[in-house]
Structure 1
Amino acid sequence: MPTPDAGAIPIASADDHALAARLAEEAGELLLRLREELQYEGSATLKREGDRRAHDLLVRRLAEERPGDAVLSEEGRDRPERLASPRTWIVDPLDGTREFSEPPRVDWAVHVALVAAEHPIAGAVALPAQGITLSTAHPSPTPPPPPTPPRVIVSRSRPPMVALAIAEALGADLVEMGSAGAKVAAVVQGVADVYPHAGGQYEWDSCAPVAVAAAAGLHCSRIDGTPLRYNQPDPWLPDLLVCPPHLVDEILEVTRGGAY
């Protein structure tokens, strides 16, 4: 099956940028209402209904607004036709389902991104419980230089070896956080400085966050510095690095020399 030409990256329209932000916010508002409505139903119900209802909303709205585009959603069926589509929306209706199911935690997100020629060209990350939406419609300013020591983000339950190695090399502090969207958002906002991930993720986990981070002037790649490619036949991405440009060389000295 033919794939889009990766040599020419189309430019998203202003309407595409705005739509990504609007849909992420709509799904976020639905999830906040659902969290209130089902707060006494237990975490399993919150997880199930949060995933399902946010997915249904995004798929319906994309069908209304962009009927000719393909869609890849964490909660939907993967259709091979997306590989031949010049435009594919990659969405995570609820990134951080566990965190969402544990009120009052705020480190969960909604991801909406548009991919063309294997690159995210528009995207938004809504952090509904924080009242924040980061998007390519209004790119965030590049974060200021990090403090001394810099801050490396790790998961609460399983800090990856690569993050520990980077932190040691940079003399950095570790910052624990939940969903992938919340982690990248923290780097975009200057709350943290480096997000390395080597445990594997799906494209919907990082696509919108990478769109937002790149628009803010941050470095986004795999942990060995090679480019990230989206809308692939297998949507599994082994690793990810998001950081300020001036830290890239020092970090890659670590990541290229280790087995992560």
Structure 2
Amino acid sequence: MTGMENLWGNQLFQQRARLAFPILVRQALATTPLTYEDLAQELGMPNPRNLNFVLGCVGRSLQKLEEQWKERVPPLQSLVINKATRIPGEGIDWFIDDLKNYRRQSRKERESIIHAKLREVYAYQYWNEVLEALDLQPLTPVFAPLLAEASRRGGGEGEEHRRLKLFVAQHPEILNLTGKRGLTEVEHRLPSGDVIDVFFMRGKEVIGVEVKPSTADEADIVRGLYQCVKYKAVLQARQSVELQPQNARTFLVLGGALPEALVGLRNMLGISVIENVQSF
């Protein structure tokens, strides 16, 4: 059937599979899954649903490689997850041994099974050899200059930044927190001494938001992405000390659009970015 062919062919989904494969290897090395929407954006695909053919092609190519090598290769395509459920969508039977039993499990049990599969992907040490065997090139790191520039940046708060923080605090629906009540705080201080622009607590879940105005350049947005990484780690550490579940999330809210050059970095870091939020 369509999608069962391996990488090498002239069909559009095969061409896209050859582009997607190094991206998936990059995500495996970064130990970070990515959503169908994020991968589609990075591939320039208007419809994420068409990724089912692309990922099927990736899976078939891995099966062929297993036959040649006579050894197990983890399901790289399982790194692509549904944005809502946080587990892979269609095609899950490619990497679930007992599919009938899997479908009888609760959502929490299914998540546990998928996370185990993801750990296999992350722990696999031969992804570069897989690329070589498939005659594919690994992605070349391109973010070093921006990271260096971001590390030199500092700066104060402008009026748009201040307005945007207040707007996010007053509109939790931006983060899909509609209908959930709890604590909201602007400029929430962490034990590390850092200050999160906006902080929400909904039940026992905590959400930190870093805000960047429309005037932010690429280096400043890079700083925002890394601040989200840091804030999540500190929030989870605080939850651990307080004997709470470690379920912290962070978002980067932009007054403008995420530059195309930073889509890959966002995906590698696994940060949720909300773009083009206007405070007026």
Asked if TM exceeds 0.5, the reply is no
Give the TM-score normalised by structure 2: 0.29
Using structure 1 for the length normalisation, give the TM-score. 0.31
Say which structure, 1 or 2, has more relative contact order (CA 8 Å, 6+ apart).
1
Whose Rg is larger?
Answer: 2
Larger proportion of helix: 2
Q: Which structure dedicates a bigger proportion of its chain to strand?
A: 1
